[in-house]
Amino acid sequence: MTHTCDHCHTDATAQPPHLHSRRSIVVALASAAAVSSGPMVAQSEASLEDERFMRMALEEARQGDYAFGCVIARDNEVIARGHNLGKTNDDPTAHGEMVAIRRCLADHGSAALRGATLYTSGEPCVMCMGAIVWCGIGRVVFAASVPQIGSPWTCDTARTEAKRLLGIVASGVDPFTKSLSSETFGAEIERYLERKRTSLKPRSFIEYQHHLQKYAVPLHKLSLSDIDRRTVAVLLGQIETNSGPTARNRLRSTLSAFWAWAIAEGLSELNPVTGTAKAEENSRDRVLTQQELRKLWRGLGEDRFSDIVRLLLLTGQRRDEIGALRWSEVDLDRKLIVLAPERTKNSRTHEVPLSAQAIAILARQPKRTEFVFSKAMGWAKGKAALDQRLRIASWRLHDLRRTCATQMAELGVQPHIIEAVLNHVSGHKAGVAGIYNRARYEGEMHDALTKWADHLDRIMA
């Protein structure tokens, strides 16, 4: 059984009168609460759509600091959702309904709320109900009533709190004064990441998550207004000390992008990352020697990680292009790997010819899921175990790509063919020329990778 609020449901188009200040609103709501009486809640049978959206609200409730979640729907589509963030934000007003309403206002404006339906896991409190009325929300559906929840908010306690608020207002203090910049960094990065989920490639999104949710943990409990350039600089220094200059610079870029979004959302006036230093990165030129290649190949086992390393070396492709390879991207009949634009760094379709050695590796993989190897590969663990067996100078998986390119060059493969294999866009394929020059080098690429694979066999021998 669900409940609908008749006050909202009877006239979805009714709008509260215009008031000139928040203080006036507080006075009006408090006065109404102090004098109103009579039932405002009626039960009704839930429709299929109500049940669908209520399930979403209950899912939000499971994520809340307290078990309250909310979904706002319009034209059978969710336009905002939220859950209780009272503890996370150190904000007593961050009820699920308030969080969802604030997000809807930020994302769509007030017009989207007028006439919309709000679904919430529990009957709204006085504060949330006031916001619902003033936003012109047309209908409220909740799962549990106040008595079922066991809330302290009864008519009597609501009137008492209303009188207390009236006293605060009479003293010249606005009890609801709270700037958007007081929202915590930890709470806002979740909304930011949700926005970025569809616009970023999966690998980039994972990196953003890692930077903001792991590296930036010291900022999570701080309000945006409390984070200044010095705070960011200290964090970047710590990351550089622990993880190196590259990690520092990647975090710096991610933080700067977050604050550009926060400024556009009206959450902040300044970007505290501006003016912080960018660390110098040493360009890597590591190429494995033939002796190291021999040790590497002989040190590989029969596990999936070892076969990924073999393919990285044979094809010269990027780590995630091979590690997250899907069977739908493998065409053994045409002897190709075909990567869609969303799977490549330069957002261009890339066809990788396969040598006989590479085909043999793919052919022996069991077809357990849509992924040839795994959706989530344990790179660090696999690499650490391999390093224990090899005992060679420090190297990275990306060095295999550079090694492949260097060895092909030494075998006489032309530079533009090597670039085609690596899916680089530079030189004769860059700029305007790249738009018109659609020449493909599938045959030459196949010959180059076959020549390199045969040479690798001779090194192993």
Q: Which residues are catalytic?
A: 97
Q: How far is CA 387 from the centre of its chain?
A: 32
Backbone angles phi, psi at 47, to 5 degrees: -85, 170
Q: DSSP character for 270?
A: S
Other beta carbons within 10 Å of 422: 20
User: How far, CA to CA in Å, does 456 sit from each of 247, 321, 354, 408, 451?
Assistant: 33, 21, 14, 11, 9
- Strand 139-144 and strand 117-122: the pairing is parallel
Whether the CB-CB separation of 297 and 311 falls below 8 Å is answered with no
- Is residue 176 a contact partner of residue 126, using CB atoms and an 8 Å limit? no
Are 286 and 250 in contact, with CB atoms under 8 Å apart? Answer: no
| Residue burial 46-77, b: 16+ Cβ < 10 Å; e: rest | beeebeebbebbbebbeebeebbbbbbbbeee
Q: 86 and 65 in contact (C-beta within 8 Å)? A: yes
Alpha helices by DSSP H, 145-228: 146-149, 155-170, 185-196, 202-210
Q: Across-strand partners of 118? A: 72, 140
Copy the structure tokens of residue 209: 């998550």
Query: Are the C-beta atoms of 338 and 349 separated by less than 8 Å?
Result: yes
Q: Rounded to an integer, what distance in angstroms lies between the CA atom of residue 73 and that of residue 112?
A: 9
